[in-house]
Amino acid sequence: MIGGSATGLLTATLLARRGAVVRVLERTGTLQPAARTLIVTDRMRTLLGRAAQGCFVNEIRRFELFTDGRAATIALRRPDLIIERRALIQGLVDEVRSAGARVELGRRFDAMRANGEDGSGKEIVVEVERCEDGKREEIHVDTVVGGDGAASCVARAAGWAPLETVPLIQAIVPLPKDMAADTARVWFVPQDTPYFYWLIPESATRGALGIIGESGPKTQRCLEQFLEKRKLDPIEFQGARIPVYKRWIPVHRKIGHGSVYLVGDAAAQVKVSTVGGIVTGFRGAVGVAEAILNRGDSRELRTLRRELDFHLLVRRSLHHFQQPDYSRMVDLLHDSAKESLGQHSRDEAWKMLWRVCLRQPRLVLLGLRGLLMRGKSIDEQRA
C-alpha cells in the first residue's frame, strides 16, 4: 500500500484481516494530517465500525437551503455526522496495526517496474527512498495499491492520466447565535461558484464555513467576501484539492504479471454532485479489497460505479444553474418533496431523487433544462 490516506489505511486493514501480508508506506514521518472538519452520511458507521468511534464530533439533523432570499428546511431521517479528519486517520492507523499490517513512515515512493530482464516478471519491484537518510530500497510484491491522493505517484507511474482537481477552502468560525448546532446551512450563489457554500457546526460554538470553486485565487476571495458579509471572523483556514469525477476510472492495471490498483481520491471516487469523497472512497476501499481477494471480481465496485455516474448526471444538470434556476428549485420544494429528500442519504441519491420526482415532477423538467440549456437561466430559456 502506497500512501497512508484514510482509504488506503482501510484497504490495508481489510486485506490484513483476511491474512494478506500488507506493508503501508507513507512519505511523511508522522500520520498527523492537517485538521479538516468534514460532513459524512451515517453509512460511515457501517463501513468503519469501531475505527470511526473517536472521530465523530457532532450530528446534523436538518439542512437549511438558501438562495436569493428564499429558504427551505429539510429534516433528515438519519442524521449526518461531523467528523474530524485527523482523529479519523489516527483511528484507522490503530485498526490497521491491530490487523497485523506494517506501517512504515518516512518512505517516499519513487518508481515501480516488473522484475525480470524483459519486464514480464511475476512480481513488481517498488523503489522507495527513506526520507531521513536518502537510502534506497527495492521491495518485491505481487500487488501495489495506490492510496496516495488525487496527485497519485502510483497512478502516474502505472500510466493513468492525471486528474482534474478543484479547490476546497473552509474557515473555522464562531457559530452564529441564530444557528442550532444540529443544523447545517447551504447557500447557492452561482456568481461565486457552480457548487455552493456551506456552514457545518462542529460544536455548539464553532462551525466550518466553506466553498468549493474552480479557481483557487477566486475561491479564496469569494470566501473572504462571504465571511465579511456575514460578519464572521475566521479562527483558522483549512483547504484541499478535490478530484473531479468525470467518468469511471478502471482501478486495476497490470505491470508485467503483477497488479496495480487505485483507491479513493487517486481514482476520483468522489460524489461530484457535492464533491464529497469520504464514504465513496471507503466503498472504493471495500471494492478494491474484494477485487484483490477475489481475483478481480467486486460487486462493491460495480455498485459504486453506478452511484458515481448518477451523481455525475446530477452535477451536469446543476452545474450551469443561474440564480433564477436555484430560486425556482427552492420554490418547488413543497412539504412532500422536502420529506422525500430527508428519507434517503446522499449515498442513495437515485432513491432520493426518484421519490422527490414522484412527489414533484416539475423538478424533473428543471433538471432537464439544466442538462439541455447549459449556461442559460429559466428567464432566458423562456425568452
For 3-49, write each residue's pLDDT tens digit. 999 999 999 999 999 999 999 999 998 877 778 899 998 888 888 88
Give the C-alpha distances (Å, rounded to integers) separating 94 from 22, 27, 98, 194, 297: 15, 18, 6, 39, 28
Q: Which grid coordinates are listed for 276?
A: 464529497
Q: Which grid coordinates are listed for 354?
A: 426518484
The whole-angstrom separation of Cα 378 and Cα 268 is 32
Burial (CB < 10 A; 0-12, 13-18, 19+), residue 383, is exposed
Helices and strands of the chain, counted as H and E runs: 12, 16
Q: What is the pTM of this model?
A: 0.90
Give the C-alpha distances (Å, rounded to integers) separating 63 from 45, 60, 72: 20, 8, 8
Q: What is the pLDDT of residues 66-110, one digit of tens each?
A: 998 899 999 998 999 999 988 899 999 999 999 999 999 999 999
In the chain, the domains with their CATH numbers are 6-36+86-162+245-300 (3.50.50.60), 59-77+164-243 (3.30.9.10), 314-382 (no CATH)
Give the C-alpha distances (Å, rounded to integers) separating 144 from 97, 139, 154, 222, 293: 19, 11, 8, 40, 13
Q: What is the pLDDT of residues 288-338, one digit of tens each?
A: 999 999 988 899 999 999 999 988 988 888 888 889 888 888 888 778 777
Contact 210, 171 (CB under 8 A): yes
Nearest to 7 by CA among 98, 88, 62: 88
